[in-house]
Structure 1
C-alpha cells in the first residue's frame, strides 16, 4: 500500500521501475570511456591522424564515384569509361578496410577497461564501409555492365560515401564535441533509468490532461445512468415477482438470476458480439460502437444493468419479506391504491437495504473497468477536449480506472497511473464519507 502511494510521487516508468543492472553498467562504462577518450592526450593525438586518413580515403573514393556518375550523365556508355576509374575506386575503397580495423581498435571501450556492449562509433557506419568495399569490387567490371544497372550501383556508392564522409569529417573536426554528445546522451539515458521523487508533478500534469477530465465526466455520467438503470430494474422486478398473482414466479425469478451465474467473460463476449456493427442487435438498432462514442456508452449501461440487477433484486426481495403482511392488509382495508401502497408503505420500509444496494452498485460503477474494456477498449479513439485545458487524442469512453490502466499498458507510465488511482481513491472515500454522514443524520 505504501509503495503504491509512494510511486505516485515518482517518475516511475517501464525503464526505471525495475532497471536492468547490465543496462546501467553499459551506459556508465560508455560514459567513462567517452570521458577518457576526450581527455586522454594520447588518444587526442591519435584520433585526428586516423580520422584524417579515413576522410582522405573517402574523398578519393567519392571523387571516383563523381567522375563515373558525371560521364554517365553525359551519355557516355559504360564500355567507354576509362578502366582506371574503376581500378582507382577499388584501390581507394580497399584502403578503408585497414582504416576500419584501426578505428575499431582506437574506439574499443572494452579494451580500454570499460566493458560495454554500446558503441562509440555506430555499427551501421562500419557496416557501410564493408558495403562500400564490396560494391567497389563489383564495379571493377563496371564497363561491362548495363548502363542503367551501373548508374544505380554508382548512385548507391555515392550516397554511402557521402554519408560516411560527413560523419567522419565531423568527428575529425569536432572530436571533443562528438565525445561531449556521447557523454551527454549517456548521462540522459542513466537519468532515465533512475526512478526519482518528483513531488506533485504528476498531479499537476494530471489536472492539465484533457483525457483525465473526459474520463472523470464519463465516469460520473456512467454512475448516474447505470445506477439508475440497475436500481430501477432490480427493485421493480423484485416487487413484481413478489406478487402472488404472478404464476410460476419462483421459476421466473430463478431465470432472472442467470446473469449473476454466468462467467463475466462469457457475458462480455456475448454482448460484444450482439451489439457489434455486424451483430444482430447492432444491426437492428443501427449501433456503431467502434465509431460513435454514445452508442458504445449506451451498450455499457445496458450491459452493466444486466450484470447488476440480480443483486439489487435479491436484496430487495429479502427486504420485502421483512414487510409485515398486516401492514399491507391494513392498507387494503383503508382503500389505498397500488401506487399509494408502494410509495407510502413498501418503499419506506425497504429503504435501508435498498439504499445499501445503491451504495454498493454506485461504488462498482465508480470503478467501472471490465465493461468498457471488453466491449470496445473504451473507444472509439478521437479528439478529446476539456474547457480551459485544451485538446488531445485518446479513448473517448475511458472511465477513470480505464484511464489509469491505459497509462500503464500503453504509455508505461506507472507513476502517472498511480496518481490517477489515488485521485479515484479520494473520490470513493469522499462518496463513502458523505453516505455515512447522511445515514447518521437520518438515523
Structure 2
C-alpha cells in the first residue's frame, strides 16, 4: 500500500508524463530482462510468501494467516527459557550465524593470503598454482560434500587415517556438535576460499603501481604499505564479495545436508536445512517451511543492508 501511494504521488507530480515519454526508448531495451526476472524471480517469491499463510497437507491446505510466523518466532508457544532448546528457531539461527561468521572469516583470510602470494610476478609456477587452487571452486559442491563426508568416515576416512598415523585415536566426527560442525566448516572452507582468492587477485591488478612505489619512497614497510595502501584499495572490491559470500554461506544447504546431515540430533542444521526438513521430512508442512523461507529472505536482506552500511565511507554515509 505504501508503494502504491508513492507511485500515485509520483504520477501526479508535474512533468512526470513528459519524463516518462522521454524514457520510453530506454524501457524498450530492458523490458525483456524485466519480464524474465519477474517470471523467474518475483513470481516464485510471491508464491512462496503466499504459501506461508497456509497450513496442512498439499491436497487440503487451510488458511491460517500469520500463525506459521507466530509459531516459528515463539517456538510453538514454548516459554522463554526454552527458546534455545534443541530444534528451536533461535538455536538454529544462532548456529547459522556462527556458521556464516566462521566460514566468511576463513574464506576472506585464506583468500587474501593466497591472492597476494599468487599475485607476485616473480613466483615460479604461478599459473599452475592458480589452476590447482581454483579447482575446489570448479567442482560441483555436492560432489565435494560427498567426498569430504567419506573423508570424515570413522573407520575408512582419510582424516582418521592421517590422525592414526600421528598416533591419535579415530574420531567419530558426527557424534558431537563440535566435531560435526568442524567437519562442515572444513568442507565449506575448501569450497569457498578460491572465490575470495580470485577476487583478491583481480583487485590487486587494478591497484596503480605508482601508489605502492610512493609508499616505498616515503619509507613505509611492507606491512605498513599493505595495511595503509593495499587493504583500503582492496576494500571496494572485497566488500561486495564478502556480502555475496555471506549470502551463499548462510544458505549453504549442500554441505550441511550432505556432510553432517544435521547430526547429532539436528544440532548442526542451519535455517535452510531446517526449512527443507519441515517441507519434505516432517509431514510435508509446506506452509511452515515457506514461512521459514520468508524469514530467511528478510534476515539476508537486513544483513546485506548492514554490511553495505559498514563498508560505506563516512563521506558517502553523510551524503546519503
Deviation of 1:433 after TM superposition, in Å, equals 2.2
Match of 2:69 in 1: 203
Deviations 1:202-225 (A, max 9, x none): 122212334212210110001110
Deviation of 1:435 after TM superposition, in Å, equals 3.0
Q: CA contact under 8 A between 1:315 and 1:357: conserved in structure 2?
A: yes
Structure 2 portions without partners, runs of 5+: 1-44, 76-84, 164-169
How many Å separate the matches in 2 of 1:439 and 1:354? 10
Partner of 1:257, secondary structure, is helix
Partner of 1:243, secondary structure, is coil
Match of 1:240 in 2: 117
Partner of 2:62, secondary structure, is coil
Deviations 1:239-258 (A, max 9, x none): 01112342211211111111
Match of 2:3 in 1: none
Match of 2:25 in 1: none
How many Å separate the matches in 2 of 1:422 and 1:324? 44
Match of 2:243 in 1: 359
Q: CA contact under 8 A between 1:235 and 1:312: conserved in structure 2?
A: yes
Deviation of 1:335 after TM superposition, in Å, equals 2.8
Kindly report which structure 2 residues correspond to 1:49-128, keeping only aligned pairs within 5 A, or say none. Answer: none
Match of 1:271 in 2: 148
TM-score using structure 2 length? 0.74
Question: Are positions 1:9 and 2:53 aligned together?
Answer: yes
Q: CA contact under 8 A between 1:214 and 1:398: conserved in structure 2?
A: no
Kindly report which structure 2 residues correspond to 1:398-417, keeping only aligned pairs within 5 A, or say none. Answer: 398-411=269-282, 412-417=284-289
Deviation of 1:439 after TM superposition, in Å, equals 4.8
How many Å separate the matches in 2 of 1:207 and 1:283? 44
Match of 2:139 among 262, 284, 301: 262
Q: CA contact under 8 A between 1:319 and 1:350: conserved in structure 2?
A: yes
Q: CA contact under 8 A between 2:174 and 2:264: conserved in structure 1?
A: yes
Match of 2:190 in 1: 306
Structure 1 portions without partners, runs of 5+: 19-193, 382-394
Deviation of 1:302 after TM superposition, in Å, equals 1.5
How many Å separate the matches in 2 of 1:344 and 1:249? 26
Rg comparison, structure with higher value: 1
Partner of 1:397, secondary structure, is coil
Match of 1:423 in 2: 295
Match of 2:174 in 1: 290
Between the two proteins, the alignment pairs up a number of residues equal to 252
Match of 2:158 in 1: 280
Match of 1:322 among 190, 206, 225: 206
Q: CA contact under 8 A between 1:202 and 1:415: conserved in structure 2?
A: yes
| Runs of 4 or more consecutive aligned structure 1 residues displaced over 6 Å after TM superposition | none
Question: Are positions 1:434 and 2:306 aligned together?
Answer: yes
Partner of 1:374, secondary structure, is helix
Partner of 1:247, secondary structure, is coil
How many Å separate the matches in 2 of 1:296 and 1:396? 9
Deviations 1:260-292 (A, max 9, x none): 222323212211111121212135454322211
Partner of 1:336, secondary structure, is coil
Cα separation, partners in 2 of 1:331 and 1:437, compared to 1, 3 Å: closer
Cα separation, partners in 2 of 1:273 and 1:356, compared to 1, 3 Å: same
Q: CA contact under 8 A between 2:188 and 2:255: conserved in structure 1?
A: yes
How many Å separate the matches in 2 of 1:398 and 1:364? 15
Match of 2:257 in 1: 373
Q: CA contact under 8 A between 1:289 and 1:380: conserved in structure 2?
A: no
Over aligned residue pairs, what C-alpha RMSD do you find? 1.7
Q: CA contact under 8 A between 2:239 and 2:311: conserved in structure 1?
A: no
Match of 2:33 in 1: none
Partner of 1:348, secondary structure, is helix
How many Å separate the matches in 2 of 1:223 and 1:333? 41
